[in-house]
Amino acid sequence: MNFNIAADRRNTNSIKWSRKAIENISANADAEPFWVADMDFLPEPHIQEAGRVIAGLGVYGYPSYPTDNSAVSSWLRQKHGWIVSDEDIIFCQGLLHGLALAINLFTKEGDSILVPSPMYRPFRTIPELNNRKLIEHDLDYNDGVFSLDIERFRADAEHADLILFCSPQNPTGIVFTREELESVLMIAKERNIPILSDEIHSDLSHPEAKHLPMGLVNERIGAKCATFFAPSKTFNIAGEHSAFAVFSDKDMEKEFRHKEEALWLSEPGLMIGELASSAYLKGYEYNRELCRYLGETIKAMRETAEKLCPEVKIVNGSASFVVFIDFSAFYGKIETEVLSHPERYKGGKDGGVLSRFFGVAAGVAVNDGTWFGDTWKCFVRFNYGTSRDRVIKALERMLKAIRSL
Ligand SMILES: Cc1ncc(COP(=O)(O)O)c(C=O)c1O
């Protein structure tokens, strides 16, 4: 695979490349998109071929679903050293479906859900739409480095009925250490509350980092834990919603399976079975190359920022293709510029000061930090899952735009 060549996704029914959606967040329909969390790379060739074969059938009736999860379990073993039997893996129609169902099952209205912040927005929306309270736990942040303060987390867990965790973390890209994961699991165990771990970005840790599945770490701890993961981000097939769950607790697993069946939510669509098994069985080398490429891209981003504008901090993410960038040193100036020219920076409801500024002044569409919690207005989330050349040019335009204020 040559990751230096990104696909041209304009006019391909991609939300990331939709001009209307771009204008909404960035106040400029022509801005180049570095926001929604999917990549511009073509998937691994076997996956592309599997997709072509299905599309070529011309008849799109019910598929015969794969009857076992052997491709999934072999991936978990090869990629993460986690031995899970096929029968313990549960299909979900998308990761958020799995989380929303589990939240509904394992908490009741009025219960409190503890979530580390900055948080992927549905981690706020799903609890709120289901009448649960949110306990927002701000991660520690200092000079480009996010970390988890376990004692503060323990204090915030005091009144929680469930922990909703994201590992590696979206939007920061940070990978948690074994010690941090063990501590979080211990807190869940001491309080006898469930912990749900969203690990959709888990297969994309860069070579210097090592992701540990929560379910694997929990084998020595025994908290009530459910680990959710998916082939979608890993292989850039997110448009085919699908994910998997593994429960450490048999009672929780039974309840979850029953609810999925009762709501008739357990059948995959036409393409995903073939795409996922091609990916999991044949995608290992592609994935290794991709992780290396992404690791080198973020290194090049850090070097660019250091050279052109060292006050801008690309935080300590070492997984996936999204990262938080800290513009605190320039926020005041940027806000003055945006507020003094309301017409120039007029966008839709999902933009903020920074995302509109970069949309208009640099032609770069990023997610505003406020999308991930009110505390984070000085940050943007930048998606670098595209060719390095495109990424560095966009970053240079952003840095130039703030320099010219
Ligand atoms: C942390 C996280 N969870 C879940 C999702 C969405 O998963 P799905 O489309 O399978 O529901 C995303 C997509 O960006 C994500 O970043």
Nearest to 338 by CA among 358, 366, 324: 358
The answer to whether the bond into 118 is cis (omega within 30° of 0) is yes
Q: Whose CA is nearest to atom 13 of ligand 1?
A: 37
* 302: region left, alpha or beta (phi > 0 left; psi from -120 to 50 alpha): alpha
Whether residues 157 and 263 share a domain: the answer is yes
Question: Are the C-beta atoms of residues 211 and 80 closer than 8 Å to each other?
Answer: yes
CA-to-CA distance for 214 and 209, rounded, in angstroms?
A: 16
> What CATH number is given to the structural domain containing 127?
3.40.640.10
| Other Cβ atoms within 10 Å of 94 Cβ, number | 19
Whether residues 347 and 270 share a domain: the answer is no
Angle between helix 272-282 and helix 70-80 axes, rounded to 10 deg: 30
110, part of any domain: yes
Q: Whose CA is nearest to atom 12 of ligand 1?
A: 200
Two structure tokens written together for 2: 């040559």
Residue 122 C-alpha to ligand 1 middle, in angstroms?
A: 9
CA-to-CA distance for 295 and 301, rounded, in angstroms?
A: 10
The number of the ligand 1 atom at minimal distance from the alpha carbon of 97 is 11
Based on its alpha-carbon atoms, the radius of gyration of the chain, rounded to whole angstroms, reads: 21
The number of the ligand 1 atom at minimal distance from the alpha carbon of 230 is 10
> What CATH number is given to the structural domain containing 25?
3.90.1150.10
CA-to-CA distance for 144 and 313, rounded, in angstroms?
A: 5
Whether residues 290 and 224 share a domain: the answer is no
Whether residues 269 and 307 share a domain: the answer is no
Whether residues 334 and 304 share a domain: the answer is yes
Check residue 349 and give its pLDDT.
87
Instruction: Locate the DSSP E strands across 207-278.
Output: 225-229, 243-247
3-state secondary structure of 348: coil
Give ∠ CA 315-205-77 in degrees, rounded to 5.
155
Whether residues 307 and 335 share a domain: the answer is yes
Amino acid occupying residue 386: T
Residue 37 C-alpha to ligand 1 middle, in angstroms?
A: 8
8, part of any domain: no
Check residue 55 and give its pLDDT.
94
Whether residues 368 and 265 share a domain: the answer is no
Whether residues 154 and 115 share a domain: the answer is yes
Q: Whose CA is nearest to atom 14 of ligand 1?
A: 37
Question: Are the C-beta atoms of residues 371 and 381 closer than 8 Å to each other?
Answer: yes
Q: What are the residues whose beta carbons fall under 8 Å from the beta carbon of 394, sequence distance 6 or more?
A: 32, 34, 362, 364
Amino acid occupying residue 74: S
Check residue 66 and give its pLDDT.
66
CA-to-CA distance for 243 and 107, rounded, in angstroms?
A: 21
219, part of any domain: yes
1, part of any domain: no
10, part of any domain: no
> Among the three residues 233, 259, 282, which one is the final residue of a domain in this structure?
282
- Ligand 1 neighbours, Cβ below 6 Å, are 37, 94-96, 120, 166, 170, 198, 200, 230, 232, 238, 241, 243
CA-to-CA distance for 318 and 297, rounded, in angstroms?
A: 11
* 373: region left, alpha or beta (phi > 0 left; psi from -120 to 50 alpha): left
Whether residues 32 and 145 share a domain: the answer is no
337, part of any domain: yes
Whether residues 183 and 263 share a domain: the answer is yes
pLDDT in tens, the chain (405 residues): 899 999 999 999 999 999 999 999 999 999 999 999 999 999 999 999 999 999 999 999 998 876 689 999 999 999 999 999 999 999 999 999 999 999 999 999 999 999 999 999 999 999 999 999 999 999 999 999 999 999 999 999 999 999 999 999 999 999 999 999 999 999 999 999 999 999 999 999 999 999 999 999 999 999 999 999 999 999 999 999 999 999 999 999 999 999 999 999 988 888 988 899 999 999 999 999 999 999 999 999 999 999 999 999 999 999 999 999 999 999 999 999 999 999 999 988 899 999 999 999 999 999 999 999 999 999 999 999 999 999 999 999 999 999 999
Whole domain around residue 26: which residue ranges? 19-43+284-403
> Among the three residues 282, 312, 331, which one is the final residue of a domain in this structure?
282
Considering its fold, how many domains does the chain have in total?
2
State how beta strands 195-198 and 225-229 pair. Answer: parallel
State how beta strands 112-117 and 162-166 pair. Answer: parallel
Sheet strand arrangement including 225-229: 90-92, 243-247, 225-229, 195-198, 162-166, 112-117, 133-138
146, part of any domain: yes
In eight-state DSSP terms, residue 194 is -
| Other Cβ atoms within 10 Å of 152 Cβ, number | 13
Whether residues 62 and 198 share a domain: the answer is yes
In eight-state DSSP terms, residue 205 is B
